[in-house]
Amino acid sequence: MTTLTVERLDDRVVVTLSRPEARNAINAAMVRELHAVCDELEERPRLLLLTGAGGTFAAGADIGELRERGRDQALQGINSRVFDRIARLPMPTVAAVDGWALGGGAELAYACDIRLASPAAVFGNPEPGLGILAAAGACWRLRDLVGASVAKQVLLAGRRLDADDAYRLGLVAEIVPAGDLLKRAHALLDRMARSGPLALRLTKLVADAPGGHPITDDLAQAILFESADKRDRMHAFLTKSGGDRS
């Protein structure tokens, strides 16, 4: 891969955006390589950690490429398709954001399940200033994450959310010193990895299901109640605690 560094572990894949000459701007090559990562994680589900090299998450999409795209390319949803695919990966995803996460970079972070940020993190969607809109999920994902009023401030008025804003608004889970950001992200993934993998997958599916419905909860729980993992984990809990309690 030429735009990503990929580290594969037993329970997770760590992907680092790495186009230092362009502040990790998302170009067509990076989109293709992100699709390849999705191929792998759909075939063998694992946790995903996304981060950026060189003190920047991703400073946007590649403007040189965007300038040459027309209607047909827009209808292909080049960036939106891969971000949607990342959002729908079977297992949880974490973005560790240091520095700029602008335009397409912000939309990539929004597509992840949980975001951690360094004090230098900045989120923003300046696309209208370039005569386009944030068409890779920001117009609706950001609204769901921070509410319609703040989303419109970002999308329409060019407001940028620094780390403190993002934490206060719930966009990021924690602010962590840059030197500890990846360590903290791995600790979060370690905690997730201690849960049952099928339970994580079904919880994510139910949490992301539009509208929510008790029958969806019941069906997912029925699958888990029949799993060997559920029986083993509850037996281990009861054996350790010496009691019948939840």
* Residue 39 token pair: 């191929």
* Residue 242 token pair: 């010496």
Strand partners, 94: 49, 114
Cα R_g (the chain), whole angstroms? 19
Listing from the earlier edge strand, what are the strands of the sheet with 122-124? 100-102, 122-124, 161-162
Residue holding tokens 């067509």?
28
Task: Work out the burial of residue 246: count CB atoms within 10 Å of its CB; fewer than 13 is exposed, 13-18 middle, 19 or more buried.
Answer: exposed
Task: Enumerate the active-site residues.
Answer: 107, 127
Q: What CA–CA distance (Å, rounded) separates 99 from 115? A: 13
